[in-house]
Amino acid sequence: MGEKGNDGGQFFTPREIIRAMVQVIAPNIDETVYDPGCGTGGFLAQSFEYIRNKLGVKMTAEQIGTLKNRTFWGREKENLIYPIALANLILHGLDKPNIWHGNTLTGEEIYGDLFEGSPHQFDVILTNPPFGGKESKDAQTDFDYKTGSTQVLFLQHVLKNLKEGGRCGIVVDEGLLFRANEDAFVKTKRKLLDDCEVWCIVSLPGGVFTAAGAGVKTNLVFFRKGEATKKIWYYDLSDIKVGKKTPLTLKHFEDFFDLLPKRSESDHSWTVDIEQRRQNALNEAKPFKDKANHKQQESLQWKNKLNELKKSKSSEEAITEAETKLRELTQEAKELSNKAKEIEDAVYDLKAVNPNKKTVTDTRTPHELLDIIEAKGREIAEALAILKVS
C-alpha cells in the first residue's frame, strides 16, 4: 500500500529506515515502546522482532508474556488504518496490540479500551509523524507552543511522553530542523536541546519517502531525555541516489554503524558544538541588546517628556517633535531587539550542512564552452549526413 504513491503512503515508513532506527535505539525487554502516530504499526512490529531476536531462546515465559502484552503501545487516528495496525501486530505475534484509536493531538478518542493500563510516560519512542500537516486551533489547545505544524506538535507530544532517561528516534522533515523564523519552531527546538541530549542527526537522501507518497527531504533525530545537548554528531547520507528501483537499504547504513560507537568524524560525519554555538550567539547579540536597552531608556524619557508637554499645554510644535522622537526611538529599539533575537534563534537551525563536502567548480571559460558546443554540433551534423546517405 505504501508503494502505490497514493494516500496510503502517509501511513507507511520504509522498513529499512525503521530497522535502522530500531537498531540505533536498541529497545530492551524491560522497556515500554511507544509510537504516537503508529500507522500500520511498523515501528512497534520491528521493535518486537528486534527484542525477540536479541533474546532468542533465553526468554522466559514471563518475559514472553510481557513482550506480547505490555511492552508496545501506539496511537492511530485513521479509521481505515487502525484495524490494519491491529491485524499487522497480531500477525507479527503480539497477543494484545495496545493501540488507541483517536486523534493524538486533540485527545479525541474513538476507541481506547486496548490502551487501558498504559504508562504515563514511555522508555522508548520511535515514530514518524505526518509531514507538512496543518492542525486546527483545537489540536493546539494542550500544547505550550501553539502552531499549525503537525510535526512540531508531535515533537512536543513526544517530549512530554518520554520518561527521564528515555530514548527517542524520530523522522522529521528538514523544514522542522532549519526553520528559525517562527516562535513555536524555535521554542520547541530550544526545549528539545535544553531537556534532552540530541546526540545524533542523520541526513537522509532526497526521495527516500517518494514511493510512500512524500517527496520532502528528511532526517533522523536521536535523543535521550534528561540532560541538555552539548554536542550533536551528524551523519550525511544525502549523496546516495535513491529511486523506486534503488531504495535505501541497511547496507547504506554500514559506515554509519561503524562510526556510531565513537561518533567518529569522516567525510560523511562531523560534530557541532551546540554549547559553543549558543555562547557565540549570546556574544554576537549582546551589542544589539545593549543598544536596544539604551534606546528603550531614551524612549521612556521622551514619553515622560511628552506627558509633561501635554499637561502643561505646550505648543503643538513641541508636542509633535516629542511624539516623532518617541516613535523613532521605539522603532529603533524594536529593530535592534529583533536583530538580537534573530542571532540567538539561529542557534536552533539544526540542518545538517556537511563541512567536508567538496564543491565541484567548473573552471572552463565561456570560450572553451563555446568550442565544446561547436565541436558537438559538428559531430551531430556528421552523424545526420551519414544517416541521410544510408
What whole-number distance in Å separates Cα of residue 55 and Cα of residue 146?
A: 43
Position 301 pLDDT exceeds 70: yes
- Tens-place pLDDT, residues 318-348: 999 999 999 999 999 999 999 999 999 999 9
Residue 103 per-residue DSSP state: -
* Cα 263 off chain centre by: 20
| The architecture CATH gives domain 13-273 | 3-Layer(aba) Sandwich (3.40)
What whole-number distance in Å separates Cα of residue 284 and Cα of residue 271?
A: 22
Phi, psi of 269 (to 5 degrees): -135, 150
233 neighbors 263 (Cβ within 8 angstroms)? yes
Instruction: Outline where DSSP puts E strands in 268-367.
Output: 269-273
230 neighbors 193 (Cβ within 8 angstroms)? no
Distances (CA, A) of 375 to 219, 381, 387: 44, 10, 19
- Tens-place pLDDT, residues 357-386: 776 677 788 888 888 898 898 889 888 888
Position 75 pLDDT exceeds 80: yes
Instruction: Outline where DSSP puts E strands in 175-305.
Output: 196-203, 218-225, 231-236, 269-273
Position 3 pLDDT exceeds 80: no
Compare 35 and 6 and report the one with higher pLDDT.
35
What whole-number distance in Å separates Cα of residue 276 and Cα of residue 230?
A: 8
187 neighbors 244 (Cβ within 8 angstroms)? no
